[in-house]
Amino acid sequence: MPDPTPPHTPPAGTAQRPLHRWRGGLPQPQLDVVAEEVPVAMRYNGAAFSVMMATPCDLEDFALGFSLSEGLITAPAQLLAVEVRPQLEGIELQMTVAADAPGAALDPDEERLLPGRGGCGLCGTRQLEDVLRPLPPIRERRTYAPAALQRALAELAQHQPMNAASGAIHAAAWADASGRIGWVREDVGRHNALDKLIGALHHNEHAIDGGLLVISSRASYEMVSKAVRAGASVLAAVSAPTALAIDLARSAGLCLIGFARESGFNVYTHPERLQADEPSR
């Protein structure tokens, strides 16, 4: 649980709001730290794609990771520019993509796509056939020691300042072969957190397939899809996976782990990726 006494300056991605805290049958006026959630409009070469409810931090990482995982660009170099435009109602991410990028084919005159909630992984999808797009098979099928995953899980909370303050933020983390956490991104939406992490790794030219992905949420099929498209070999979720997520992970070659705790975890697909010896390829 977050500290009931909020800091004077809340961490980025959070805000202070007044409340009455009831203790011992009496209300006590206080300030609480809560997660920020704002509409973020995703626009490509002037065309609207979707509106996501997101935490307004690491938006350049969000733009790149979302564009890659949603198939609007096929390589980071196709995202030519990102402009963050604060608006009265929220934030616009104006993205310029290369002419050969899929996002360049959006029709600016078409009334597009449904708004995306913080937990939405189907934002911008109207056709059923778009939901289950084929996933590329994972090429780098690395193995890791279980101790590496346990170390990453033990360290995850230390890298979640927004959640420590508010108790309402998801995290996505990348850990190396020893389990040391190198990159973390937080967001009120679990999909957004993973997109931001993917974007951050690409911005820093860091190989995703050289480590483990750890998420603080459940493993829905959208999270599996994003992890596979990013090139991850292992995705570990603190909560449960869905049946479809398991099926997709098995077919794509992703090691999917659920109910991940420092004390133990469930391996649903490709258990050969976790071995008790030194990590290898």
CB-based contact 182:176 (threshold 8 Å): yes
Tokens found for residue 182: 């190198």
- Say if residues 194 and 229 touch (Cβ distance below 8 Å): no
Alpha-carbon gap, residue 157 to 205, rounded angstroms: 25
Nearest to 252 by CA among 208, 221, 214: 221
How far apart are the C-alpha atoms of 274 and 268, rounded to whole Å? 12
Closest CA to 10 of 139, 163, 137: 163
Q: Tell me if residue 255 is catalytic.
A: no
Crossing angle between the packed helical segments 190-203 and 59-69, to the nearest 10 degrees: 100
Structure tokens at 267: 């391996």
Q: Rounded distance, CA 38 to CA 132, Å?
A: 28
Give the catalytic positions in this structure: 120
